[in-house]
């Protein structure tokens, strides 16, 4: 792989976390994506059991400073297409010098290797995304033949607004998350999201790493609807400390909202989310955020709007066949 003169390219390791966080902070100041990271967040990413940092990450350095990075994440399983996710950025001061055009082929090539190694015999695609306001990223994706695949919306809601009180059907219970229900919740989540675009079942390791075992997970602000001992619906909340530090606003991010198919059409997601919002306001959160697929088949966008959320940003997902 050929890199521009003066650029050192090597895998990212834990000792690079501070430099990586500085790069992402510089990116956020310009791109305004609403995403902030501290060094521990990035160490957590490197410790993902499904990531091999030695081959699936790359840092671009100039004069001892990280000026760009790339990272890939393979899917646990394949439902329709093996989507190999990619991410990366170039420091704003180093853009329009050819670094993005050098990084993209590396990401595409490595995505092809991951696809061939993990899910051979399936249809593969390299994927990535951008906030709609980032026209430079749009041009880069177009340059390499990526096509728009899907649209997503980030939404926010101030918790100074009143939360509607919603009644729960007789015979059902709304309870806080408890670790004893963790495995049943993972299985329920996998079933709920089986028909959602781009979603794949989560194995126990991924579930623990990025869901209920994540540092950001807030079990006390997560609720589950039970029918006897059966999970009917759930809402899981997260708090990202780096976001609070950067913005001065304590936000509860709604990571997952799900209703088991047999219980859909009964307003359980609305009941559960309203409870989570009320609890968040009670314990001192100032805002709630979430992301939604614009074409979500369950009508989630309308649900969130009725509960007081409004659009804060729009995102575009891209794909390139492997």
- CATH number of the domain where residue 185 is located: 3.40.630.30
Position 312 pLDDT exceeds 70: yes
Whether residue 102 is found in the same domain as residue 22: yes
Chain segment 226-282, per-residue pLDDT in tens: 999 999 999 999 999 999 999 999 999 999 999 999 999 999 999 999 999 999 999
CB burial string 160-194: b at 16+ within 10 A, e below: eeebeeeebeeebebeebeeebbeebbebbbebbe
Shared domain check, 98 and 65: yes
**pLDDT on residue 196:** 86
Question: Do 21 and 106 fall within a single domain?
Answer: yes
β-bridge pairing 57-62 and 147-158: unpaired
Q: What is the DSSP letter of 283?
A: T
> pLDDT tens, 281-297?
999 999 999 999 998 76
Mean pLDDT in residue range 210-239: 97
The predicted pLDDT at position 198 comes to 87
Residue 170 shares a structural domain with residue 309: yes
The rounded distance, in Å, linking the Cα atoms of 173 and 270 is: 14
Residue at 2 is within a domain: no
Are 72 and 86 contacting, i.e. CB atoms less than 8 angstroms apart?
yes
Q: Between 321 and 198, name the one with better pLDDT.
A: 321
The span from the CA of 290 to the CA of 276, in Å, is 13
In this prediction, residues 215-233 reach a mean pLDDT of: 97
- Tell me if 322 is assigned to some domain: no
Residue 299, pLDDT > 90, answer no
In percent, the amount of the chain with pLDDT more than 70 equals: 99
Whether 112 is in a domain gets the answer yes
Q: 39-45: long-range contacts at Cβ-Cβ below 8 A with a sequence spacing of 24 or more? A: 40/215, 41/215, 41/240, 41/242, 42/17, 43/14, 43/17, 44/209, 44/214, 44/215, 45/71
Higher pLDDT, 2 or 53: 53
Q: Of 313, 317, 316, nearest to 32 (Cα)?
A: 313
Tell me the Cα Rg of the chain. 20
- Integer Cα distance of 222 and 201 in angstroms: 21
pTM of the entire predicted model: 0.94
What is the per-residue pLDDT for 157?
97
Secondary structure class of 83 (helix, strand, coil): strand
Number of domains the chain is built from: 2
Structural domain of 267 = 155-313
How many other C-beta atoms can be found within 10 angstroms of the C-beta atom of residue 111? 26
Judge if 94 and 170 occupy the same domain: no
Q: What is the pLDDT of residue 297?
A: 65
pLDDT at 1: 78
């Amino acid at each position: 792989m050929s890199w521009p003169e003066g650029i050192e390219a090597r895998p990212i390791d834990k000792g690079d976390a501070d430099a990586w966080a500085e790069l992402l902070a510089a990116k956020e100041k310009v791109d305004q994506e609403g995403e902030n990271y501290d060094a521990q967040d990035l160490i957590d990413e490197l410790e993902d059991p499904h990531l091999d940092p030695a081959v699936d990450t790359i840092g671009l350095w100039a004069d001892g400073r990280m000026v760009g990075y790339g990272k890939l994440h393979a899917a646990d399983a394949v439902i329709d297409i093996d989507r190999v996710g990619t991410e990366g950025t170039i420091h704003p001061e180093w853009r329009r010098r050819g670094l993005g055009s050098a990084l993209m082929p590396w990401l595409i090539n490595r995505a092809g290797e991951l696809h061939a190694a993990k899910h051979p015999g399936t249809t593969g695609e390299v994927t990535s995304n951008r906030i709609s306001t980032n026209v430079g990223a749009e041009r880069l994706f177009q340059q390499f033949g990526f096509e728009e695949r899907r649209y997503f919306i980030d939404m926010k809601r101030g918790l100074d607004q009143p939360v509607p009180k919603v009644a729960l059907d007789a015979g059902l219970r709304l309870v806080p998350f408890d670790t004893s229900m963790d495995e049943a919740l993972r299985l329920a989540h996998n079933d709920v999201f089986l028909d959602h675009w781009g979603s794949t079942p989560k194995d126990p390791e991924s579930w623990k790493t990025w869901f209920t075992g994540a540092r950001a997970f807030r079990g006390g602000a997560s609720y589950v609807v039970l029918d006897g001992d059966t999970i009917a619906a759930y809402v899981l909340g997260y708090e990202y400390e780096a976001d609070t530090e950067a913005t001065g606003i304590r936000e509860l991010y709604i990571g997952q909202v799900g209703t088991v198919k047999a219980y859909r059409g009964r307003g359980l997601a609305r009941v559960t989310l309203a409870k989570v919002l009320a609890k968040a306001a009670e314990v001192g959160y100032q805002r709630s955020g979430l992301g939604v697929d614009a074409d979500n088949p369950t009508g989630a966008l309308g649900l969130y709007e009725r509960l007081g959320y409004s659009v804060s940003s729009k995102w575009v997902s891209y794909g390139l066949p492997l």
